Structure 1
Amino acid sequence: MSAPFTLRLYAPADEDAAIALWHLTWQQAYPSIDFAARVNWWRERWRKELVPNANIIVAEQGGALIGFVTIDATGYLDQLVVEPDHWGSELGTALVGEAKRLSPDGITLLVNTDNARAIRFYRRNGFVDAGGDVNPTSGKPVLRMAWKP
């Protein structure tokens, strides 16, 4: 059984750990993509788009950041990042629960259509398919998903 984790609001001191966790997680999910080459782009997006416009909840365990979720005022969940060693644990569900608490009128998100694990996870957590879309950055197909209370 793993040690308990705590959830709290993001603080500016979490930036480097959050960026590193994003890189690690996405690199493991999509090993054929060079996410190291995208870190500077991500840091800029993190600082200019997500931090000023979203509530960010982080998960810590033993002093290490092991996950985070971002949810903006419109109910858009841009990022749910869980350290790969915690995939399949209750951590993702706890982070989605925080997003639901912060956006009680509903949540929308986009998930890559080839990310079957994430799609199954969101469906288990009450999200339904709400149509197809295209990722504006990658041009790849995504599934729009929604949760309504």
Structure 2
Amino acid sequence: METNDFVIRRAVGADAVAVAEVWLRSFGAALPDVRRAHTDDQVRSWCREVVVPGQETWVATADGAVAGLMVLDGDDLDQLYVDPDMQGRGVGGRLVEVAKRRRPDGLALWTFQVNAPARRFYERHGFVAAESTDGHRNEEREPDVRYRWQPAA
């Protein structure tokens, strides 16, 4: 059920708590068996001190509440999380559209190999798997896959 009843905008300092909570709920729901490298409080601190104030962070809000978040770091779509209660409503797709407009020359991202729903989502949005690793470069030590998106010629 897709809805357009949400607003996409740059995150501001007041969003940091909600950004962290969406990140935590989404990660927990999507990847319950993946070892988290950081505690909940460390994630909250990272969102408050690093992500929202220092990175290109976007939020999707519904009725004023953060429903999803996206972080762009150079040409990397570094974070994309949608609150589990808001998934399937077009929030993630709209955030990816923003990312493509902001990085019209192409994007790349990492996701865990075990995250089949995320992999299907990215593939539906034109991303192609380009590299797989055993996870030795990520903090979770979880096998991952690098996806790339290039605009149509």
Scaled by the length of structure 1, the TM-score of the pair is: 0.88
Shift of 1:93: 0.5
Equivalent residue, structure 2, for 1:147: 149
Q: Kindly report which structure 2 residues correspond to 1:64-83, keeping only aligned pairs within 5 A, or say none.
A: 64-72=65-73, 74-83=74-83
Distance 1:15 1:50 in 2: 8
Question: Match of 2:139, as an amino acid?
Answer: T
Aligned sequence identity (%): 35
Q: Kindly report which structure 2 residues correspond to 1:19-98, keeping only aligned pairs within 5 A, or say none.
A: 19-32=20-33, 38-47=39-48, 49-51=50-52, 53-72=54-73, 74-98=74-98
Selected match of 1:137 from 120, 136, 139: 139
Distance 2:111 2:87 in 1: 16
Contact 2:13 2:48 in 1 (8 A): no
Shift of 1:44: 3.7
Scaled by the length of structure 2, the TM-score of the pair is: 0.86
Distance 1:9 1:119 in 2: 25
Cα 1:148–1:3 change in 2 (3 A) is closer
**Residue aligned with 1:89, SS:** coil
Q: Kindly report which structure 2 residues correspond to 1:93-104, keeping only aligned pairs within 5 A, or say none.
A: 93-104=93-104
Question: Match of 1:137, as an amino acid?
Answer: E
Distance 1:39 1:110 in 2: 21
Q: Which runs of 5+ in 1 are unaligned?
A: none
Does residue 113 (structure 1) correspond to residue 113 (structure 2)? The answer is: yes
Distance 1:3 1:145 in 2: 27
Contact 1:27 1:34 in 2 (8 A): no
Question: Match of 1:108, as an amino acid?
Answer: A
**Equivalences, count:** 147
